[in-house]
Amino acid sequence: MCSSHNQLVPKVATIKKITEETSSGDVKTFYVEFDKPEERAEFKNMPGQCAMISVLGVGESMISITSSPTRPDPLEFSIKKMGKVTSKLHDMSVGSKIGIRGPYGNNFPVDEWRGKDLVFIGGGIGLAPLRSVINYCIDKKENYGSISIIYGSRSPADLCFKEELFDNWPNLEGVEVHLTVDKVEEGERWDKSVGFVPQYLEQISPSPNNSIAITCGPPIMIKYVLESLEKMKFEDEQIITTLELKMQCGVGYCGRCNIGDKYVCIDGPVFSYKQIKEMPQEF
């Protein structure tokens, strides 16, 4: 990784396309291109890594890169409207300029997963960081066993990446998609499962043999998914998740994302359940 330049100054990029992921409009995917091609060439991301997105005059936010490096351009970021920066981003339009620096953090250990069955368990916007690694593994499917995607959201309207969930992924060989929603409003069309992700996971009950479970979503979902996976006899080393804390520098100096001797921005965001159990429990 290139560390020879000033890490805190972002590169200029342009928003090329914006799509709304959910019907409530709280999640949008931004398709972004660097203004200078050589800066894109230096930006070598792996699935699971993040980037610092700047809205100049407002601030910066650490956002996971949603697109897989196997499909490099444009870079995609799916962003939920949460705080100051993401709200301002949501107000921006195609052609707007933003700043990007990165990529930061570790990535999913995709090389260690070779030959294994992969179970992705996501909830809500938590599918965003998983999407990059799902597409990465699909594009290199020859290296992996079966891929199961178990994903849920509050309602059918809140499901992100609908095109991939309904049209692309289920039609691929060796890829299964299992969807669930917390509840369905009257009159809403929904022929899949209704219920929370952890219970649905136990119902599907993927085998822990030669498998890796990767989970990402709201903290409360992750908590119960971890319990379910333990019940299903997944070992701690077989479970991978991501942590999210407030970050401002992204490169391990500013101190916000410190847990124990780890900094989530450089040592994370991807951790095995084993690593997480060894940390002080404050996240």
Partner 1 sequence: MNKLLRSNVSCLLKKLSEHTEIYASTEEDGVCILAKLDNYEEWTMNYVRTANSVKDVFFPQNEEIMKYKDASSDLKIEAPKPFKERIAFGVRPCDAAAMLLLDDVFLKGEFYDSYYKERREKGTIITIACEKPDQHCFCTSFDLSPGATEGSDIVLYPTEDFFLVVEVTEKGKKLIKDNAELFEDIGAKPEIVDSYKNMRTVLGDVCIPNDLNEKLKGEFDNSYWKKIARRCLGCGNCTFVCPTCHCFAVCDVARGCDGKRARTWDSCKFQDFFLMAGDHNPRPTQIERTRQRFMHKLNYFKEKYDKYQCIGCGRCVEKCPVGVHIADVITHMKEEL
Residues engaged in binding partner 1 (CB under 8 A): 1, 3, 5-12, 54, 56-61, 82-86, 96-99, 219, 244-246, 248-249, 251-256, 258, 260-261, 266, 280-283
CA distance 15 to 29: 10
In the complex with partner 1, the residue whose CB is nearer, 173 or 282, is: 282
In the complex with partner 1, the residue whose CB is nearer, 149 or 259, is: 259
Q: How far is the CB of 55 from partner 1 (least distance, A)?
A: 8
Phi, psi of 211 (to 5 degrees): -120, 160
DSSP letters spanning 27-73: EEEEEEEESSHHHHHH----TT-EEEEEETTTEEEEEE--S-TTS-S
Q: How far is the CB of 39 from partner 1 (least distance, A)?
A: 11
Q: How far is the CB of 234 from partner 1 (least distance, A)?
A: 25
Q: How far is the CB of 121 from partner 1 (least distance, A)?
A: 21
In the complex with partner 1, the residue whose CB is nearer, 59 or 170, is: 59
Q: How far is the CB of 113 from partner 1 (least distance, A)?
A: 23
49 C-beta neighbours (distance < 10 Å), count: 22
Query: What is the rounded (10 degree) CA torsion for 205, 145, 179, 228?
Result: 30
Chain centre to alpha carbon of residue 154: 18
CA distance 214 to 108: 9
CA distance 149 to 121: 6
Q: How far is the CB of 188 from partner 1 (least distance, A)?
A: 26
Whether residue 107 contacts residue 202, with contact meaning beta carbons closer than 8 Å, is answered with no
In the complex with partner 1, the residue whose CB is nearer, 80 or 178, is: 80
In the complex with partner 1, the residue whose CB is nearer, 61 or 215, is: 61
In the complex with partner 1, the residue whose CB is nearer, 179 or 249, is: 249
